[in-house]
């Protein structure tokens, strides 16, 4: 009913969300995104009927195409020791957390675990590290599906061609119009090509869209001007946000091997108050408005 208060997981479940993606850092400065916190939340998610998708950053903090810093405890060790560390760490996660999906690295366009795993400088070692993590998962769990994640569209052909003999299950792409182009037709064509070329399931691992260009705290937002939108089809309004995700959902269903999408930052409201300068750069792309009310876009998560 309108006006009812509920907790986040209940709202997500009631609106058809079936999987929750969690990031996992090796040795963060506090418990945030660390093993114990993620293990506990994974249990909560499973009790509530969600599947879990763990994104292993193989870093103590955020990893992305521009940042792939090895964990502090793994720096200065030799390559053989690093592979042992990767294997033992990944095996522990697969065994104790038993995720439905496990993502090896986050947006690994340029590799991971620098400097050893840098694609341009050390491609062979990148492959060995990737294979080591994958073997750890396969040895531990026959059920967990393995995702490899590339940010964007451009360059994805080359990337997945290089990994054609790697043992994984699902191709994941990030798609944000601000960074990856404004053509959903290009996105669809690329997904169709990659899924067919590599005979893999494929999904959109990250996407999001604003319901407004306003802000609800004093932290600079990622998206804030019309030039970053797909106009006129998808304005920065609640209805524009809903229509964008409706198109994303339809697109992933139309792609032959498409299996869905994951929304980034659904919960990233202005959580530290409306004058915080170090809180959410994402509150205008969350799934809840500035009064913390569920937005119309949530209806699109039902698998109709």
Q: Which residues are catalytic?
A: 107, 206
Nearest to 283 by CA among 230, 239, 223, 225: 223
Burial class (CB in 10 A: 0-12, 13-18, 19+), 202: buried
Find where tokens 């040795």 sit.
Answer: 27
As given in the structure block, the two tokens for residue 185 are: 């037709």
Q: Residue 274, SS3?
A: coil
Q: CA 252 to CA 207: how far, in whole Å?
A: 12
- 111 Cβ partners below 8 Å, 6+ apart? 68, 117, 118, 119, 120, 122, 126
Are the C-beta atoms of 21 and 50 separated by less than 8 Å? Answer: no
Q: CA 67 to CA 19: how far, in whole Å?
A: 26
Find where tokens 């994303």 sit.
Answer: 248
- In sign, the C-alpha dihedral spanning 206, 209, 213, 216 is negative
**Helix or strand (DSSP H, E) at 250:** helix 238-254
């Amino acid at each position: 009913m309108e006006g009812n208060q509920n907790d986040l997981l209940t709202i997500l479940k009631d609106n058809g969300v079936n999987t929750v993606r969690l990031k996992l850092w090796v040795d963060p400065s506090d418990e945030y995104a660390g093993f114990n916190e993620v293990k506990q939340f994974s249990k909560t998610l499973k009790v509530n009927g969600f599947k879990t998708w763990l994104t292993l950053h193989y870093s103590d903090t955020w990893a992305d195409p521009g940042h792939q810093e090895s964990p502090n405890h793994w720096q200065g060790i030799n390559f053989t020791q690093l592979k042992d560390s990767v294997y033992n760490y990944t095996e522990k996660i697969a065994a104790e957390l038993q995720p439905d999906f496990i993502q090896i690295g986050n947006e690994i366009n340029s590799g991971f675990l620098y400097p050893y795993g840098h694609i341009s400088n050390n491609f062979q070692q990148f492959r060995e590290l990737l294979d080591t993590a994958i073997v750890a998962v396969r040895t531990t769990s026959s059920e967990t599906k393995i995702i490899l994640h590339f940010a964007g569209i451009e360059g994805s052909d080359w990337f997945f061609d290089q990994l054609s003999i790697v043992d994984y299950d699902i191709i994941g792409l990030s798609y944000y119009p601000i960074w990856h182009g404004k053509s959903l037709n290009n996105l669809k064509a690329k997904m169709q090509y990659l899924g067919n070329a590599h005979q893999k399931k494929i999904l959109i691992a990250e996407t999001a869209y604003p319901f407004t260009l306003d802000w609800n705290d004093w932290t600079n937002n990622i998206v804030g001007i019309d030039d970053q939108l797909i106009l006129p089809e998808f304005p920065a309004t609640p209805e524009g946000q809903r229509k964008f995700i409706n198109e994303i959902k339809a697109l992933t269903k139309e792609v032959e091997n498409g299996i869905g999408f994951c929304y980034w930052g659904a919960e990233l409201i202005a959580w530290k108050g409306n004058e915080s300068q170090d809180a959410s750069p994402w509150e205008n792309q969350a799934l809840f408005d500035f009064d913390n009310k569920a937005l119309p876009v949530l209806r699109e998560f039902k698998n109709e």
